[in-house]
Structure 1
């Protein structure tokens, strides 16, 4: 957590993980660039243009294609595919520069993704616990997304109308 992540980001020996020394060096360079972005986000003097330039350079390194012929000695494996770009990477490259410019007095430390992460957790739990996962009888089959939206709508209805959305447990009596 916290500072320990930074320690791993800066000091972890990737040659212990990757058999190829070249691959370990590629990943280390990518991590070093990411650490530079992290420091730029912390610096209140960072301009939008500087951050956008550096984040785009990091994305280009992240998406570096393979070079050379796969069956020859000159082959250098690429990094990642465009499909590997996550929503967090998209925000980092395309929006954090704007955030730095607009909210310079607060800094990015004032923002948190915990609400988004919590919503994601709730959706995953709902999917696995309360849906048929796109299954069920073929005549009454609903998509899991529709089931989840209906569940959320019911929860909102209950909350707005102060209707309890639970049943009281039956009381048990023990006769002796």
Structure 2
């Protein structure tokens, strides 16, 4: 990590259990990791090499998304490449496990995230729609959505519904009710805080 000029460390958390935590990497450091981290030096054999190649290819896909404009051919190639990337990501072990001729799998199908689904099934469509308007994805940011997600998790999982809460309704219901209430207050100019005032008589 020092060679990549990235600060990263494991440290004991402040909990009574003394669980281990680690440094959160920000955007530029994540990109450096994707580009340069030598996974194959830490995961032995062909699996380590394949994982390293997998994440290098992901970085290449990311670079395509950052381009200011795309041709239809580039979008079609991106669509094909990103689907192949997900297939490689969840490639199972091929052959008899632990035999000399087996090709080890990489990740489980359960590890595929909604972000990967979006990347493969929806982003190429969005790229085509934006291309028609002379735009590209690099003009947009998801930071506001990520911030909203962070606030919701903080409010509902660390606060009111830790561990799922005691209610029978799902947490998503509570989130929607809370947001609807906030919107109602905003539209009707109703303060969502009460200010106490002492009146001397």
Uncovered stretches (5+) of structure 1, i.e. residues with no partner: 172-176
Whole-angstrom CA distance in 2 between matches of 1:64 and 1:34: 15
1:86-105 pair list within 5 angstroms? 86-104=113-131, 105=134
Label 1:144 to 1:8 Cα distance change in 2 as closer, same or farther (>3 A). Answer: closer
Q: How much has 1:99 moved relative to structure 2?
A: 2.2
Uncovered stretches (5+) of structure 2, i.e. residues with no partner: 1-25
Match of 1:11 in 2: 36
* Structure number with larger C-alpha Rg: 1
Find the residue that maps to 2:92 and give its secondary structure: coil
Whole-angstrom CA distance in 1 between matches of 2:60 and 2:145: 25
Label 1:69 to 1:119 Cα distance change in 2 as closer, same or farther (>3 A). Answer: same
Find the residue that maps to 1:106 and give its secondary structure: coil
Using the size of structure 1 for normalisation, the TM-score is: 0.79
- 1:28 and 2:52 equivalent? yes
Whole-angstrom CA distance in 2 between matches of 1:64 and 1:133: 33
Whole-angstrom CA distance in 2 between matches of 1:13 and 1:162: 56
The one of 158, 174, 177 equivalent to 1:150 is 177
Whole-angstrom CA distance in 2 between matches of 1:106 and 1:4: 27
Query: What's the RMSD between the two structures over aligned residues?
Result: 2.4
Match of 1:112 in 2: 141
Using the size of structure 2 for normalisation, the TM-score is: 0.71
How many residues align structurally?
167
Q: How much has 1:40 moved relative to structure 2?
A: 2.3
Label 1:161 to 1:49 Cα distance change in 2 as closer, same or farther (>3 A). Answer: same
Label 1:148 to 1:5 Cα distance change in 2 as closer, same or farther (>3 A). Answer: closer
1:110-149 pair list within 5 angstroms? 110-128=139-157, 129-131=159-161, 133-136=163-166, 142-149=169-176
